[in-house]
Structure 1
Amino acid sequence: MLKYKLLILLLSLSATVVFGQAKPIYFNGNRITTDKDRATSYGVYGKLSNQDLWVLKRYDLDDNLMFTGAYKDEELSKPHGKFIFYGSIFDYNHQNFASFKNDKTDRYITQQGEFVDGLEQGKWTDHFPDGKIMGYRNYKDGKLEGEIAFFNYKGRRMLFGHYKDGLRTGVWYDLKRKVKEVFEQDKLVSTTKLKRSEIREVE
């Protein structure tokens, strides 16, 4: 059955992307495996004919798209370029007691961002099933750097602060817990309970 699914995927992918040659690939967890019977997910990848990039579309065993992205090497060890990750609306609703709906598909973009030479770079975003921004964070050479924020569905900031060289720094606000925290090189220096007026000011 998996072999048949891969054949269909190879044909459709080859028709939409200009590959030198599309190939099937199997994963056990996040490791590539040659044992199809132990595969926990599968995909199709191939080298773009006009670039030194290998594009991968990875699926779970129920044929649900997990992510798409490109790599600088055929071993798929160095991600490079935009990556888009997908999840299930049904699973999100079940885990969060929500009721999002899409009549056309159960899949939605959960997060997306860029890699450069194997390291996260720039702004990465997380999404609600209807596409609204759930949060964002910034990277520099694979480390969190700069502003990070997460929102509730109404668009209110619930958690925000800053990173420097991968470490929390300065003032952080956690409005769910109603506290202001101060960090120095990822070490908590102080915690202060926020008053209602202070919460309104920083939302």
Structure 2
Amino acid sequence: MKEEFYDALENYPVVTAVKDYNGLDLALNTESRVVFVLFGNITDIAQIVKKVKARGKIAIVHVDLIEGLGSKEIAAKFIKYNTQADGIISTKANIISAAKDLGLITVQRFFLIDSLSLKNVIKYIEAGHADTYEVLPGGMYKIITMLSNISNVPLIAGGLISDKEDVISALSAGATAISSTDTGIWKL
């Protein structure tokens, strides 16, 4: 499944990131094969993922944003055994590790706010903990270039991607794909 995920990012480098049911319905009708699910709770996440899978898309659930799931490794087990999700997104290394052990695709999300957070990102990328990394905000082209040069797995730029120029710049800087909740970006 990981290779299919990588191929999907390469073939269509815009990931639809959905934060509500309206966005989900729109995402299911795009060319993008990868859907980042950024909403839901423990009572409806299985149905949300089922909709994504029914359209032949790869479903990646941001476990940190699912209401009712905590920040412990059990969140990865819940997604694995109670949904059809292909993988998870998390900012938490312990959840990424647990999900990887379960055979889920892992996307570790990082918020870059200063030089200390950048050092931590470099440490995690060099250690190879996740199947891919998402860095936010996505408009830091110099940083994306540096991180893509040290990463052996795809790098996704997300957050504050607002137009075609941002998409092209992030991809030119070395990002494999971008993720966005902006439906206008999904159609580029």
Assess same fold via TM > 0.5: no
Question: The TM-score by the shorter chain falls in which range?
Answer: under 0.3
More helix by share: 2
Which of these two proteins has the greater Rg computed from alpha carbons?
Answer: 1
Larger RCO, structure (CA 8 Å, separation 6 or more): 2
* Bigger strand fraction: 1
After TM superposition, the score normalised by the length of structure 1 is 0.25
